[in-house]
Each structure stands twice: as C-alpha cells, then as structure tokens.
Amino acid sequence: MYDAIVVGARCAGSATALLLAREGYRVLLVDRSAFPSDLPFSTHYIHQSGIARLKRWGLLDKVAASNCPPITKLYFDFGTFVLTGSPPPADGVDVAYAPRRKVLDAILVEAAVANGAELRTDFSVNELIWEDGRVCGICGREKGGSAVVEKARIVIGADGMHSTVARAVRAAEYNTKEPLEGPYFSYWSGVEMKGFEFHPGVYRGAFGWMTNDDLALVGVGFAAKDHPSVRADIEGNYLRAIAEDAPDLAERLRNGHREERFVGGVVPNYFRKPFGPGWALVGDAGYLKDPCTAEGITDAFHSAELLAQAIDSGLGGRRPLDAALEDYERQRNQAAFPLYEFTCQLATLAPPPPEMQQLLSALTGNQEQTNRFFGLFAQTVSVPDFFSPENMQELFGQNRAVGV
C-alpha cells in the first residue's frame, strides 16, 4: 500500500512526487512514456516564477548545465514600436529558461526517484479501483505485461489534458472556453533570438526563443477559426505570417535552417474540480489554458507545491484531508483566475481594443511600467495589481482604468 500513486511523470507529476517523497511519503510514480522523451505538442518557456521553484527544489543548476541559455528579456515588436524589458525577479531569480521537454522532464523524474519515489515507465493506467465510493488504487499494465493493481491512500492524476483519472472520477469542468488559438512551431539552427520574442499580427502572432543546443524555437499562433485553412499549407502560412508581421525575424530564418517538422494544433481552456474522495488532479489534468502566455509549466509547478502541502497536512494528520484539498482548489483558483482571463483575451489574437492600444502607447518610454507589464507573464506582478486604478493612475498620470 502506497501513500500516494501519481499518474503522469512530467512537470506536474514528477514535481508532486518529488515533494511528497521528500516529506517521507511512500510514492509510486507511473507514466506510459519512458524518459528522456519529448512531449511533441508543447513549447517550453518557463518564466521566472517557475524557474524560482526549480531553484527551490535544487534543480536549477541541472537545467542551466543542459546547454540551455538563460533568457532575461521579453521583446514585443508591434511593427510601429517595440516594447522590451525584463520582468521583476521571482524570489531573486531574474532569468527564464526554455529547456526541451526531453531535458526538463528527465531532470524532474530523476529528482523524484532520487528523493525516494518508485518509478514505473511504459506503464499505462486504464482504470481506478474503488472501495465504498472512494478511490483506493489503480489498475494498469506495463507494455506487453498483464494487468497490475496497486493501492494507495490517494491517487493523483497528473496525466495531462486527456486525463484518464479525471475521466474516471468524472471531475466537473467549469469556466470552460472553446479553443481560441493554437501555434504551429519548429526548431531552427543558425537563428539568434532577442529573448522571448512576440510579433503580433491580426488573428495571428509569431513568437520564439532560444532553447537547448543552439536551436531557436520559432512558432506562429493562428486563431482557431483559421486552423482548417492553415492546416492545408502549414509551412506556407507560417512563413507568410512571419514575412508579413516580423520581417526582421523572416530575414534571420532565411539565413538559418529548419531542423524539425512542424507541430501544432489548438488547445481548450478549462478548470476541473481537482479533488474528491481518494483522488486529486494536478497540472493540465486539473486546469488548462491557452499556451499564448506560456504559463502551463510554471502553473503546474505552483499547483504541485500547493497539492503536496495539502496532502502532507491531510495524510500527516494535521487537518482533515478533504478540508486541506478544498484549500488547494481555492488557492489554485485564486492564483489562476485573473491570469486565465488575461490569457484568454490575448488568445483571441484580435487587434488590441482602443483601451489596450492606449495602454501599450503609455508603456512606450516608461521602462519601469514596461517591466511591470512583462511581470504579468512572469507571474511576478499580479493582473489585479497591474490593472488597479492606482497603477493606471500612475501610468497615465490621471484617474482612469483599463479593463481586461
């Protein structure tokens, strides 16, 4: 009998397993993948707040040593003007990194195991085991093996957006929004990026940054409504969007070489009830939003910390587990709701409404407020703080507010 079984061993699952194992709990961590392996449909920029958690867990040095350059600047090129700067640091961490998932997830899995979690890879969970209306284990199998049942005091679904655990417990969804946009991206050699680059167009936007092995990840987000036509000619639409909206980046690509195939698609937006009798959800299994602000990994780390604290206080007997998990949901949502709405608004990729245009013009030449604006992405400035009447007054020099 384990204390916890964690289904899914990437950003959310390995982080949760690591934190629980470190507290002395007996943890089984399973994944249908083997590691190191890439997660094909995900870019992988980690903002300062996420990097600060890697530092706290003792893993930042490993990311930094993986031939992945630190990124300190955001560079948003609106064609007629550029906003560039660095967000306020998170717990003293002023750099971001964008390690490939085959690098990051392997570091997390190894750390979970080094802290005492038991790992089974190539292991698919097919169903949950129930006793008296409570989840008490999993049934799964290793590739080519026969069915195995394992039991635990809590089963944690960290198994991503198509979560088997969420489906099995019929986790209720709320605040759902249809897919708004989705990127197509690839990796280029011989291309230098200026930080976290973003080149907004109309119902599309080019973006990119440096990752491991001197490769640049370069993508274009397309509005969901345009995906059927984009799919008909991915490379043509991708190159045309970059040539029209980001000529300087297009020039850099002409001198570079595309090293990998294009990957892409659209992404839904939802919250799921993240706990119930004998189960919990963490990471994308419990909460997913559009990737245009690149927050999923940072959020998965944050949720893993909140969930591990709640489970520790419940299983450790300091408070009833259900009450601790209720707090987990409340804290997760409190942190996530404002950024969720901000992200979903950006993800329409619509031309900025007049109020947002005024805000962007007011930021030009105001480096401190530009850095604070970038802090929204790094999660070092909160959406309510930035858009508060006091901050808008300071920015515009008069009493007015910008709605998001």
The residues that touch ligand FAD, with contacts defined as CB under 6 A, are 7-13, 30-33, 39, 41-46, 124-125, 158-160, 164, 183, 267, 283-285, 291, 294-298, 300
Q: Which is nearer to ligand FAD, 83 or 267 (CB)?
A: 267
In angstroms, the CA 345 to CA 351 distance is 11
* Of 311 and 392, CB closest to ligand FAD: 311
- Min dist. Cβ of residue 402 to ligand FAD (A): 26
CB of 329 to ligand FAD, least distance (A): 16
Alpha-carbon radius of gyration of the chain? 21
CA dihedral 109, 119, 43, 283 (to 10 degrees): -100
Q: What minimum distance in Å lies between the beta carbon of 226 and ligand FAD?
A: 16
Under 8 Å between Cβ of 7 and 94: no
- Residue 381, φ and ψ in degrees, nearest 5: -130, 130
Compare residues 84 and 124 and give the one whose CB is closer to ligand FAD.
124
Taking Cα atoms as reference points, which of 176, 171, 174, 246 lies closest to residue 205? 246
Closer residue to ligand FAD in complex, CB, 45/342: 45
Which of 208, 268, 269, 267 is CA-nearest to residue 241?
Answer: 208
Q: How far is the CB of 391 from ligand FAD (least distance, A)?
A: 26
292 and 346 Cβ atoms separated by less than 8 Å:
yes
Is the CB of 37 or the CB of 366 nearer to ligand FAD? 37
Query: How many alpha carbons fall within 13 Å on the CB side of residue 225?
Result: 7
> How far apart (Å, rounded) are the C-alpha atoms in residues 242 and 249?
7
What's the CA gap between 17 and 7, in Å, rounded?
A: 10
* Smaller CB separation from ligand FAD, 37 or 309: 37
Q: State the nearest-atom distance from the C-beta of 156 to ligand FAD, in Å.
A: 11
Vertex 164: Cα angle to 294 and 29 (nearest 5): 80
Q: Which is nearer to ligand FAD, 124 or 309 (CB)?
A: 124
